[in-house]
Structure 1
Amino acid sequence: MSKPKLLFITQEMSPFLELSKISEITRQLPQAMQEKGFEIRILMPRFGNINERRNRLHEVIRLSGMNIIIDDNDNPLIIKVASIPSARMQVYFLDNEEYFQRKYVFRDKEEKFYADNDERMIFFCKGALETVKKLGWAPDLIHCHGWMTSLIPAYVKTSYKDDPTFKNSKVIYSLYENGFTETLSPSFIQKSVMNGMTEKQVETYATGTSSALETGALEYSDAVVIGSQEVNPELLNNVKKAGKPVLEYNLTSDSENFYNFYEEITNEELVHVA
């Protein structure tokens, strides 16, 4: 029997970028699941403050060269890779000169939220799915970490729902504390729509707040992980009402619980979101 395939998509990961507890979780969890027999892939953005030389990133020519279209503009996607030798894991980095070659991550040196954070997120989510397609690797499970991954569940269940790479994939979304207090661009929803989907399908995301992004991700996910004690109570209430499988926060410190949760989701009948 082939190993179950588990894809991690995250906005940060130790030792490359450490902004919050997400970086620690996404460093430890993939290794623990690999040791338990899962086949692992990890994708994250190549933010400009990630040191390429120190982390030994190098471009993967066979994966680079795609363009991601946002608001009718072609944006080149460059794929780089680095290894974590102690864990025998590789991490794929999605890069683009305009979106990611900056000294800071989500805010400039004056702490002002980047006006194009909406496009940076859309680029990352589209680019991640296109990269996995190009790898020719169909994940059984996709586990998303951080608000920059929040469009992944919607894309998988709409635009990519009949794609051979993703048609049998289950999506898990980890909820953390609010990622930002600002609001994304008012044109965010129009820009986010892909072929095979409508604005109505992403209207839950429309206000562009951190809470709206998480609510949209929950709507399209097959299962939820409570990744923090500081999760917005309204979101926790939405999780309860949705009746989806949930891994509670008090169980997340033990990788065995994640293993059992992944096994449970993998074996559930796939429920398509209309």
Structure 2
Amino acid sequence: MDSQKLKVLFISSEVEGFSKTGGLADVAKALPLELRNLGHEVIIITPFYRTIAHQEDAKQVHELTLHTDNSRPDIHFAVQQLSLDGIKVLAIDNAHYFDRAGLYGEENNAYPDNGERFAFFSLAALLTSLAEDFAPDIIHCNDWHTGLVPYLLKTRFYETPHFAHSKTVLTSHNSAYQGIFDKSQLNLIPEISGCMDQRVLENYSYINFLKVGVIYASKVNTVSPNYASELLTPLGSHGMSDHFIERIHDFEGILNGCDYNDWSPENDKLIPFNFDSHDLSGKEKCKVALQKEAEFEVSDVPMFGMVCRLTDQKGFGLILPVLERFLKHNVQFVLIGSGDPSITGQLNALSEHYKDRFKFINTYSNRLSHLVEAGSDFFLMPSIFEPCGLNQLYSLAYGTLPIVRAVGGLKDTVIDYDQDPDNANGFMFYDPNPNQFLNILRRALLLYIEHPEEMLRLKQQAMRSHFHWSDSAKHYQRLYLRALGRG
């Protein structure tokens, strides 16, 4: 094999097409496909959740045992094989850990044994690599769920010939989620539960999965250059800045791409009318369809859309204090999402009171997500922090102008109209202040009302903003080669 063609073991707790709670799943589908297109051999390992178990093409290929110490019984598990557009997907099948209604929890509450579940997953993934006789050049770990893999490679599997030349890359998709658990959840990995290194077991009592991954991985990255910069600061690092600074020479930001196979208004099968940057008449028809879906009056008023998890991260501390004032304007606003019950309650009350201009749909629906992107004039992302963000990329593709806060990947991808009108593709504000957010909403509203020709130009310009996964994959390829000392 060409020395530049690599074997990549891609380990992720979710993969689009099989399981999904957020952007990690999108990356875990799109990036392996692009790596395969570059000529690399990729195998994906993920849990065999209940959401996957119904797939008819799943085929059991291994029965394996995870040997523990004498304090607890060995753990038996199967490995199911599936396919992602020709890429082998190996799913770790253990009913105790993964046959549950949710991936990480239910009704907004995390499963109390998540530390044990993903400690098991990390070990099982490496045992599966052995069983497959797939000796990876690169083991690509994703988020805290796989943070123990680099540590295990340097402890339990240190003298295993199969992994003798393997290097690890850890991608943090959102460093606010770190996987912090009491050491009692690590009993199935004696190397950790009995560890006396405070970098691994803090105060000898609890573990931070993400921190362990950052310390032990060969290379570390996150999902946008600006978020990488933020992670080096106390304010933007979620308490992890010292650890990222320690790895500064092995740490970088690589911007996520957009999967234009799924998110292109020209061929999107989930929207009622297709369109492109040369002819936006289909977008206007999608707007009418969205108005009917939301039971709004069909009229030429500005349509604002939002699709997200209902969490503080997404900026609801900025939205809720000014939403009623914003709805006094002649606007329409459709919000799709689920999550925090306290946010849900307030949105339900406002939706009931302003039925003619605000529709809150408490769910996640792929069809509605596509319709909101296609039918809206503006898309709201006033995030407190946003490692990369994908919805602003989808919005740009559909000529829906993103209104964002200047953080993380939002700052890397959106060009503000007031700062650079000639090249702009959206609107951006800086301070996490509700009134600043309201001001930028009104700024966008004013442009829509007073300058329709300029609005059309901006929409077309937004649609020419492209962020291809093929470019991102080449950055990852270079990162892999540097990890292997071939850079």
Shared fold, TM over 0.5? yes
Equivalent in the alignment of 1:46: 48
Task: Give, in whole Å, the separation in 1 of the partners of 2:149 and 2:182.
Answer: 19
Distance 1:250 1:88, change over 3 A: closer
The share of aligned pairs that are identical, in percent, is 22
Task: Give, in whole Å, the separation in 2 of the partners of 1:168 and 1:135.
Answer: 17
> Shift of residue 18 of structure 1?
1.3
Distance 1:193 1:157, change over 3 A: same
> Shift of residue 184 of structure 1?
2.2
Equivalent in the alignment of 2:429: none
Task: Give, in whole Å, the separation in 2 of the partners of 1:34 and 1:47.
Answer: 25
Q: Which amino acid aligns with 2:244?
A: V
Equivalent in the alignment of 1:272: none
Tell whether 2:192 aligns with 1:214.
no
Whether the 8 Å CA contact 1:215–1:235 is kept in 2: the answer is yes
Task: Give, in whole Å, the separation in 2 of the partners of 1:27 and 1:44.
Answer: 11
What residue ranges of structure 2 are gaps of 5+ in the alignment?
258-468
Q: Which amino acid aligns with 2:55?
A: R
Tell whether 2:252 aligns with 1:247.
yes
Equivalent in the alignment of 1:162: 159
Distance 1:108 1:73, change over 3 A: farther
1:184-223 map, 5 Å: 184-194=181-191, 199-201=195-197, 203-206=199-202, 208=206, 212-223=208-219
Tell whether 2:361 aligns with 1:143.
no
> Shift of residue 203 of structure 1?
4.7
Tell me the SS of whatever aligns to 1:69: coil
Equivalent in the alignment of 2:320: none
Equivalent in the alignment of 1:82: 82
> Shift of residue 222 of structure 1?
0.7
Whether the 8 Å CA contact 1:188–1:208 is kept in 2: the answer is no
Tell whether 2:236 aligns with 1:235.
no
Tell me the SS of whatever aligns to 2:162: coil
Tell me the SS of whatever aligns to 1:187: helix
1:153-209 Cα offsets, whole Å, 9 max, x none, are 1000111111011121111101122465885234134443249x9512575244646
Equivalent in the alignment of 1:37: 39
Whether the 8 Å CA contact 1:69–1:75 is kept in 2: the answer is yes
Tell me the SS of whatever aligns to 1:177: coil
Whether the 8 Å CA contact 1:202–1:216 is kept in 2: the answer is no
Distance 1:182 1:118, change over 3 A: closer
1:5-44 Cα offsets, whole Å, 9 max, x none, are 1110110111111112111111111111111111111101
> Shift of residue 79 of structure 1?
0.3
Task: Give, in whole Å, the separation in 1 of the partners of 2:172 and 2:117.
Answer: 20
Task: Give, in whole Å, the separation in 2 of the partners of 1:21 and 1:157.
Answer: 29
Name the stretch that deviates more: 226-235 or 124-133: 226-235
Tell me the SS of whatever aligns to 1:37: coil
Task: Give, in whole Å, the separation in 1 of the partners of 2:175 and 2:255.
Answer: 19
Equivalent in the alignment of 2:485: 267
Whether the 8 Å CA contact 2:179–2:210 is kept in 1: the answer is no
1:78-103 Cα offsets, whole Å, 9 max, x none, are 1001112xx32110000101111111
Whether the 8 Å CA contact 2:223–2:255 is kept in 1: the answer is no
> What RMSD in Å do the two structures reach over aligned CA positions?
2.7
Task: Give, in whole Å, the separation in 1 of the partners of 2:162 and 2:194.
Answer: 21
Aligned length: 260
Distance 1:179 1:123, change over 3 A: farther
1:113-148 Cα offsets, whole Å, 9 max, x none, are 222212211211111111101111211111101221
Whether the 8 Å CA contact 2:58–2:81 is kept in 1: the answer is yes
Q: Which amino acid aligns with 1:220?
A: Y
Distance 1:201 1:137, change over 3 A: farther
> Shift of residue 221 of structure 1?
0.6
TM-score, length of structure 2 as denominator length: 0.49
Name the stretch that deviates more: 4-13 or 225-234: 225-234
Distance 1:24 1:133, change over 3 A: same
> Shift of residue 246 of structure 1?
2.3
Task: Give, in whole Å, the separation in 2 of the partners of 1:236 and 1:251.
Answer: 22
Whether the 8 Å CA contact 1:190–1:199 is kept in 2: the answer is no
Whether the 8 Å CA contact 1:45–1:124 is kept in 2: the answer is yes
Task: Give, in whole Å, the separation in 2 of the partners of 1:186 and 1:264.
Answer: 34
Distance 1:205 1:45, change over 3 A: farther
Task: Give, in whole Å, the separation in 1 of the partners of 2:75 and 2:169.
Answer: 28
Tell whether 2:92 aligns with 1:94.
yes
Whether the 8 Å CA contact 2:15–2:29 is kept in 1: the answer is yes
Distance 1:260 1:120, change over 3 A: same
Whether the 8 Å CA contact 1:12–1:23 is kept in 2: the answer is yes
Whether the 8 Å CA contact 1:107–1:114 is kept in 2: the answer is yes
> Shift of residue 77 of structure 1?
1.0
What residue ranges of structure 1 are gaps of 5+ in the alignment?
270-274
Task: Give, in whole Å, the separation in 1 of the partners of 2:129 and 2:176.
Answer: 25
> Shift of residue 235 of structure 1?
2.6
